[in-house]
């Protein structure tokens, strides 16, 4: 888990079908020392894990990504320049009970990641 270690949720809004979470990165975390020592960049796989953990936090259930239609990393997330960002997530629950999401991780006009995927509840 990266929540409350690599990243922290500063504020969260959750209405049916919509989640907005303001997060910040622990810029001293070991992950950033290896990725990369002279210019730390939040790894794409960490952005996806943070998305899953924000969803779990807001929906109060454990989730696993089942399928993805789109995963795009559009800008480098450099915590030394800006350690804050926000997830904006729209979701619906389909007939199979999966959460189908359309999400972005961004800061102001900079979009770090976009993701369209389906997450299943883990029992």
Q: What is the pLDDT along the chain (123 residues), one digit of tens a residue?
A: 999 999 999 999 999 999 999 999 999 999 998 888 789 999 999 999 999 999 999 999 999 999 999 999 999 999 999 999 999 999 999 999 999 999 999 999 999 999 999 999 998
Question: Total domain count for the chain?
Answer: 1
pTM of the model: 0.96
Q: Does residue 105 lie in a domain region?
A: yes
Is 37 inside any structural domain?
yes
User: Among candidates 115, 23, 123, which has minimal Cα distance to 63?
Assistant: 123
pLDDT score of 35: 83
CATH number (domain holding residue 92): 3.10.129.10
Its domain, for residue 69, covers 7-121
Q: Is the residue at 2 inside a domain?
A: no
């Amino acid at each position: 888990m990266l929540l409350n270690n690599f990243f922290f949720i500063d504020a969260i809004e959750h209405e049916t079908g919509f989640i907005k979470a303001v997060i910040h990165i622990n810029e001293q975390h070991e992950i950033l020392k290896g990725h990369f020592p002279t210019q730390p960049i939040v790894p794409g796989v960490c952005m996806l894990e943070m998305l899953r953990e924000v969803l779990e936090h807001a929906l109060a259930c454990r989730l696993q990504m089942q399928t993805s239609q789109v995963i795009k990393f559009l800008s480098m997330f450099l915590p030394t320049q800006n350690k804050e960002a926000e997830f904006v997530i729209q979701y619906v629950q389909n007939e199979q009970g999966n959460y189908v999401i359309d999400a972005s991780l961004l800061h102001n006009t900079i979009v770090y990641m976009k993701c369209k995927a389906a997450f299943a509840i883990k029992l």
